[in-house]
Structure 1
Amino acid sequence: MRPFSYARVADVADAITAVAGDQTSAFLAGGTTKIDMLRIGTEWSQRLVDINDLPLTLIEDLPDGGLRIGALARMSDVAMAPAVIGRYAMISRALLLGASAQLRNMATMGGNLMQRVRCGYFRDAHSPCDKREPGSGCAAIPGVNRGHAVLGTSEHCIATHPSDVAVALVALDAVVRVEGPGGTREIPIDDFFLLPGETPHLEHPLEHGELITAIDVPAVPIARRSTYLKVRDRESYEFALTSAAAAMRVEDGTVAEVRLALGGVATKPWRAREAERLLTGARADGDAFVRAARAEMSAAVPRSMNAFKIELAQRTMVRALETAMTLGEER
């Protein structure tokens, strides 16, 4: 690991000033991703600005019935918060399935959204990677790509987005609040994650020095009885091969409202909008779920080793929708 300097701040404005004024500085929160990157040499910051003393840990009710989650709230605290368990079951479940207990106790909500991909070529400083070194190529496309994305890819990057809770937040239309030298702004979470296109090194629409301060989750009544299903190679701590966050309201046997998002199969948390469109107003049954799942995955682009993800994602969606329908009937 290359040497770096360290500073600790207790005020949001001071933190922003400290990082914004120096292109080689970066924020340090839980450190569960940042320290890894420093150790393996795929990232380097001349100075780390520790923000753990900032007052950004609260979980607060919003006037519209939604919830504001502080960016420095720990994953474990959010997962077990009564307001989250009671009103946004898919968030709690995604957090509990998203990491080991030790990591959940350290990792922050803001840091989770900013975590880097687990692509082995990105994390190997000697392999070509357009995300790490623009213009060098993507070693995963002709290489070992079993765990890589089939949706939202480009010829420059097929790395899968690793977050679980981001999938649930995308399904719920959460909003990311950020503060920086230019003031405060709100970014819809689906816009917070950028597709790789020709610029895979740009993952978020953040300027240097902008800091996530909170995540606002709007009131979504059907999220009270929602689910998050994660399929992985082993049941212990592992990243998703496929996952789905789902919530559904059924009236007289017809889908009146549905929320569905996918993980493990795309370069960003993937809102299944085509499946939602086909399901809304359709008969709530297995045939409709299968048709919607197939339509959602029709745009998938498989590589040499990950074609299995297409059918697995379809099955994951159907099972998550069946579970969500059952939960909805328990109202």
Structure 2
Amino acid sequence: MQLTGFHHLTAVTADAPRNHAFYTGTLGLRLVKKTVNQDDVSAYHLFYADGLASPGTDLTFFDWPVARERRGTQSIVRTGLRVGSTASLAWWQQRFATNGVTHHGTVERDGRATLDFEDFEGQRLSLIADDTPGPVHPWAKSAVPAEHQIRGLGAITLSVRDLRPTDVVLTQVMAMQHVREYVAPRAGADAATSTFHVYRMGGDGPQAELHVQVEPGAKPASQGAGGVHHVAFRTPNFQEYEAWAERLAKLGMPSSGPVDRFYFRSLYFREPNGILFEIATDGPGFAADEPMETLGERLALPPFLEPRRVAIERGLKPLVTA
């Protein structure tokens, strides 16, 4: 029983229309599910992904009217997004310059060419050149040429003060392997360096790597717009999902217990430094309630929220304004 990589990453925005414009327009991702936070239906939950809404390609956002994140440790500090080549990084660097996107020059980090950038709220992102073999599903209607489109999630970086308790959960509870470490500039705003520890799940390349940055003296982050809410890891089927729930319970790891999100099943828990993790199934998928060809074009609600559609729609702002 092994996790097979990242399923999705969920972040926070305070401006859903501008968020939609940036991630579909500037980044060329497909809005594959326009729905609501099932625990707070006043907020959108927007899912951006590849052309087929594949598990492992989803970058998602809760729309909450909150202040900006206060950066710090005990948090997810950078989200990697995979592209196919270093030539794509050069293409993206020019696109960012043309569109006024905050970005830095391409660097080599942990042996891979990487281009760091931020969205309009300071969400910290990186494009990672990755030629690992695997399926690629470009979106035909994207503003980005197919050869340069984002292929999915890459390495995701956490920051913790103390590695030891997190290492125990990653290796002994979640069955990851500690495979290497490296030194690189901190994910913050200064020139200091940190040690990063790389943990690998099942699968190949950065889509199966969790990087943990150790910052012993840093202050904890305060969640807000431009920050990350949680990261979700893939499990391929319901049988293994149930086994994970049993494993957490047997090891005495507090969790949400099984949660049916309709598009996938979820299991939530916090690692010892307080960062929220989720284990999510690959299926049923986003085509469970609308055709693949028209994903994201209407507000989709799971069956238990459908009777409240009129009230929910009334409380949401339009994503596209005139």
TM-score range, shorter chain: under 0.3
User: What TM-score, normalized by structure 1, do the two folds share?
Assistant: 0.25
User: Relative contact order: is structure 1 or structure 2 higher (C-alpha 8 Å, sep ≥ 6)?
Assistant: 2
Larger radius of gyration: 1
User: What TM-score, normalized by structure 2, do the two folds share?
Assistant: 0.25
Structure with the higher strand share, 1 or 2? 2
Structure with the higher helix share, 1 or 2? 1
